Structure formats: structure tokens, C-alpha cells
Structure 1
């Protein structure tokens, strides 16, 4: 009914390996976001890990303003990272999936 089960299992393992390789590669994909005229800059990986935060000294006087800018910059960068992450992992998973009729999970 399902054809070669061992072949499908091999394909599933291959898909899992591609997903793991993609996760490792996404650690090297950096997303930069700057706001407040470049006075606040953040860098995150596509796996949503914060790598760097740079704040211009002019913002150190106003704690609330700095906190607001950091939240905005981090949220923007993490949103972009999440989109890239989901897209890349879906591609990796789909490329290794066996062709099982009725199982079009990743359209």
C-alpha cells in the first residue's frame, strides 16, 4: 500500500538531517536592525539569538527612552529572524520528505 517502507524511512532521516544542517547554518545568518537614526543597533541570528547590541551614548541619559528603543529594535530583528527561520526550515523539511499521497503538509 505504501510502497517501500525502508525507502520512506531513509527519506525521513534525510529530511531530519537537512533540518539539523539548516539549523546550524541559520546560526551564521545575521540580521541587523537599527532604529532611532542608527543610535540603537541590534544583531540577531536567524535562530533568534542576540549577538550584539550597540547604543549611542546620547541615549544613556534617558533610561525609559533607551528601553523603548531596545524593545522596538529587538522585536523587529526577532520578527525578521523568525520569518527567515520558518521559511528555511520548511524548505529543508519539504526537500527530504518522501512523496506520500495525501500528505502535502508543506505547501
Structure 2
């Protein structure tokens, strides 16, 4: 039983490492504001087109940045949930076999 718990912990660490290497992004205003993050929800890059600065509307840039950030974080959450569900199914399958050995 403890082996299964250790394997589950190891699997969780593997998933976290894999999520660090998966990039997601969010865009606003047709890509004029773009955010790149990892599936672990770590922001890696923010790209704002020069055109946005020429318009000089600070509030608009801030609002679009929030939109892009939230889109990237939603994508990160979706990827993370998908990975965790797959791992959970694997673990539950293993636990089911453990309990059915009776």
C-alpha cells in the first residue's frame, strides 16, 4: 500500500515537471497583447505590440493584458486538469487492483 502512495507522489512530481515544459498562451486585441505561460501557471513572457503603445491608452493596455493573462491561465488550468485526471485514472486503476487481490 505504501508503495502505491510513493508511486502516486512520484507521479505527481513527474506531472509537475512535465507541466513546466508545456507552454500555453492567451491573446487579446487580435494578438496585439499576448501572454505566454507554463501549464504550471508561471508567466514566461508578455508581448505588447508597438502599435498599442503608439495609441497611448494605458487603461486599454492594462485591460487587454488582464484578458490575455486570464486566457493563458485558463489554458494552463485545462492542461493541468487533463494531466491530473489521466494520472488519477492510472492510480485508481492500480488501487482497484490492489483491493481486488483478496
Residue 13 of structure 1 corresponds to 6
Map 1:1-107 to 2 at 5 A.
8-60=1-53, 61-97=56-92, 98-99=95-96
RMSD: 1.5
Q: Choose between structure 1 and 2: higher helix proportion.
A: 2
The Cα of 1:73 is off from its aligned counterpart by 0.5
The superposition leaves residues 7-46 of structure 1 with CA deviations (integer Å, 9 ceiling, x where unpaired) of x211111111011101011000000222212111110100
The Cα of 1:93 is off from its aligned counterpart by 3.4
Moved more, 34-43 or 69-78: 34-43
> Conserved in 1, the CA contact under 8 Å of 2:28 and 2:68?
yes
| Unaligned residue ranges in structure 1 (runs of 5+) | 1-7, 102-107
Tell me the matched-pair count: 94
